[in-house]
A and B are shown apart, each in its own frame.
Chain A
Amino acid sequence: MPVSIQCRDLRKTYDGKVEAVRGLNLEIQAGECFGLLGPNGAGKTTTIEILEGLLPPTSGQVTILGHTWETHPRELREWLGISLQETRLSEKLSVRETIELFASFYRQPRSASEVIEELQLTEKADAWVGKLSGGQRQRLAVATALVGNPKILFLDEPTTGLDPQSRRQLWEIVRTFIRKGGTVLLTTHYMEEAERLCDRLAIIDHGQVIAEGTPSELIERLGGHHVVEFAVNDNSNAESLDRWKTLPGVESVRHTDGVVSLNVREPHHTIPALLDMVRMRNSQLLHLTTRQASLEDVFVNLTGRHLREE
């Protein structure tokens, strides 16, 4: 399987002090949608900008489609389409004019009208950028990336700040690009986006990959597909956590702010036993939820922190 993007032992240190990326290894296959998932400040943007050729690494090798940025910068730029975090395009140009401007940089771009239609911007084609909504601006940003007919699409936090409807529209655009044979590398801190869109993920924290695999593989590693969360009215402290471990089917126990989380394989065995135990201790169950395990749980298990700082 051809490897689209590869980086080995990637490192980036700012001003000799801040280590944003500390020895990252990635291998992204052609035709897949690969996600970099991690909280803010994990080094995702730094990594993707190095891969995009916008930032020189402190050390490490980057190979894209068999070429490096040192040897073939112009060719690589023809083959890549990127969407940065927070680019503010010229407000007084229309959608069509903006896309035509970007199209002019490539040797063989797609037609602007075609891209406008694919990104559902037809009715705003002649409107000024300043008049667009957040979702429309994001689609325009992706349109400028797609107009060059790229082989690889880099998207840095593409749906941050968007409403759910706009988010879904953008996901559909990404899926279409993949279906037509393109490769996508995206960064995100939304676990839903990572789960739904990405074929494979790398979970990044503090400049390193702490886990890698398909979303289901990662969740599998938690040792269960379900999470049972509850709170009891007797003071649950650290030592009392051990008794919850004895319940049937429990793989691991976590405790945050008075709420106990159990990773279980079969909730229908664990929950009745939990209720029995609570009754036997004459305690009261204040709160009980059961849900599917998610990447958020994977991240919390790995790092003890949440993906999004609340």
Chain B
Amino acid sequence: MATAEQTPSIRLDPPAPSPHFNGRWSGFNQLLLARMKELLREPELIFWIFGFPLLLAAGLGVAFRNKPLERTTIAIVSGSGAQDVLNLIQHSPQASSITARVLDRAQALQAFHLGKYDLVVEPDGRGGVCYIYDPSRQETVLSRADVNDALQQAAGRKNAIPVSSFVSAEPGSRYIDFLIPGLLGMTLMNSGMWGVGFAIVDMRQRKLLKRFLATPMRESDFLLALAASRLFLMLIEVALLLGLGVLAFHIRVLGSLWSVLLLGTLGSVAFGGFGLLTACRARKIETVSGLINLAMMPMWIFSGVFFSYEHFPAKILPYIKALPLTALNDSLRDTILQGAPLTAQAGRILVLLLWGGISFLLAMKWFRWT
């Protein structure tokens, strides 16, 4: 059993000569370093932050690559007159862009409805034809016009006015051009909110925030390190997605790279701040996950990531444009695809700053470390 030791006035041993005398920023540096190490050592995170957006971009870009609409495949209903129609098409000036097959009526219609054919041509037995098409499928409307043109010209119609055609294609109008900036915005949102929100609640739950609080660590250093790691990741995300777009899909980046990086920074600020807000009080991972999903879902749908939001009713468009992801996507698109200067994006930049700034102030007001 220990006995009481009445030691006279205690003099503490001087500390062993320390090789180190920490400067003002050593805490910040170590926090940033630790944060980056943790992220890069978590293979799941690497996939979701970097791999997933790239796969998505590549997959969608390939699936929705614009097919030249000049080729059309049609079905001709068998019976009397079918062979004549086929001959006419094959002798028409447009013969190389029309592929025709003769099928019986039922087969032709079925295949038409399945999308195999753009048009069904049914000879009426008296030298004329009937076109079967579907106004809600744009390619059938176009096919009807082209095939009719071909048949009429082959049968002898002369153009009243001489015509010639000239192809003028602007870069930046493919689906992939629309998609990449949208995916970039979405990635910045995902990694910003999950990266900050999840990390904080996780540390709070593990009592690590509390443990840090008991040291001389400055609270501002902790938050700054989180922000710095976010910016660093943003650089990587921009590089990867734009890199994929330019190298694999030949996207032309018309705007300056600095503008893109500035927008990326603003996006990180907005979503980092918003993520901080969702995490400022939650004590359990489940809670913050729910909050983050709740916040992100509307933006996934409405902010023009995969398709333009102009399709939505005009009444809700102002609200859509007030969402941070909308502002980010729109400004990224205009900068990358059209080279629009940042001054023209003042409204969107303001939206991002307000979301980030107000979220941050509220989060600081409500933040709890335990």
Give the Cβ gap from B18 to chain A, nearest Cβ, in Å.
5
What chain A residues lie within 8 Å of B8 (beta carbons)? 1
- Interface contact A182-B12, CB-CB below 8 Å: yes
- Interface contact B211-A87, CB-CB below 8 Å: yes
Give the Cβ gap from A75 to chain B, nearest Cβ, in Å.
9
Hey, what's the 0/1 contact readout for A81-105 against B, CB within 8 Å counting as 1? 0101011111011000100111111
Is B167 in contact with chain A by the CB < 8 A criterion? no
- Interface contact B15-A100, CB-CB below 8 Å: no
What chain A residues lie within 8 Å of B18 (beta carbons)? 108-111, 149
Give the Cβ gap from A294 to chain B, nearest Cβ, in Å.
9
- Interface contact A97-B37, CB-CB below 8 Å: yes
Task: Enumerate B127-176 residues with CB–CB distance to A below 8 Å.
Answer: none
Q: How far is the CA of A180 from the CA of B12 in the complex (A)?
A: 7
Give the Cβ gap from A218 to chain B, nearest Cβ, in Å.
10
Task: Enumerate B266-286 residues with CB–CB distance to A below 8 Å.
Answer: none
Is B69 in contact with chain A by the CB < 8 A criterion? no
Q: How far is the CA of A52 from the CA of B207 in the complex (A)?
A: 15
Q: Which residue of A lies closest to B214 (CB)?
A: A82
Q: How far is the CA of A128 from the CA of B1 in the complex (A)?
A: 38
Hey, what's the 0/1 contact readout for A230-265 against B, CB within 8 Å counting as 1? 000000000000000000000000000000000000
Is B126 in contact with chain A by the CB < 8 A criterion? no
- Interface contact A214-B2, CB-CB below 8 Å: yes
- Interface contact B214-A54, CB-CB below 8 Å: yes
- Interface contact A104-B22, CB-CB below 8 Å: yes
Q: How far is the CA of A216 from the CA of B13 in the complex (A)?
A: 29
Q: How far is the CA of A280 from the CA of B288 in the complex (A)?
A: 73
- Interface contact B20-A195, CB-CB below 8 Å: no
Give the Cβ gap from B7 to chain A, nearest Cβ, in Å.
5
Is B216 in contact with chain A by the CB < 8 A criterion? yes
Interface residues on A, range: 35 or more
Q: Given A93-B38, A109-B20, A199-B2, does the pair A101, B31 have CB atoms closer than 8 Å?
A: yes
Give the Cβ gap from A129 to chain B, nearest Cβ, in Å.
11
Q: How far is the CA of A215 from the CA of B208 in the complex (A)?
A: 34
Is B62 in contact with chain A by the CB < 8 A criterion? no
What chain A residues lie within 8 Å of B207 (beta carbons)? 84, 86-88
Is A78 in contact with chain B by the CB < 8 A criterion? yes
Query: Could you tell me which B residues sit within 8 Å of A by CB distance?
Result: 1-13, 15-16, 18-22, 26-27, 29-31, 33-34, 37-38, 41-42, 206-208, 210-217, 370
Query: Could you tell me which A residues sit within 8 Å of B by CB distance?
Result: 1-2, 29-33, 52-54, 74, 77-78, 80, 82, 84, 86-90, 92-93, 97, 100-111, 114, 128, 144, 148-149, 151, 180-182, 195-200, 214-217, 219
Q: Which A-B residue pairs are the 3 nearest by beta carbons?
A: A104-B30, A31-B10, A88-B206
Known A80-B214, A92-B42, A149-B15; further 4 A-B contacts with Cβ < 8 A: A87-B206, A101-B30, A104-B29, A199-B4
27 chain-A/chain-B pairs, Cβ below 8 angstroms: A1-B6, A31-B7, A31-B10, A32-B7, A84-B210, A87-B207, A87-B208, A87-B211, A88-B206, A89-B208, A92-B42, A93-B38, A101-B30, A104-B30, A106-B22, A107-B21, A107-B22, A108-B21, A148-B216, A151-B12, A180-B12, A180-B13, A181-B10, A181-B12, A200-B4, A215-B2, A216-B3
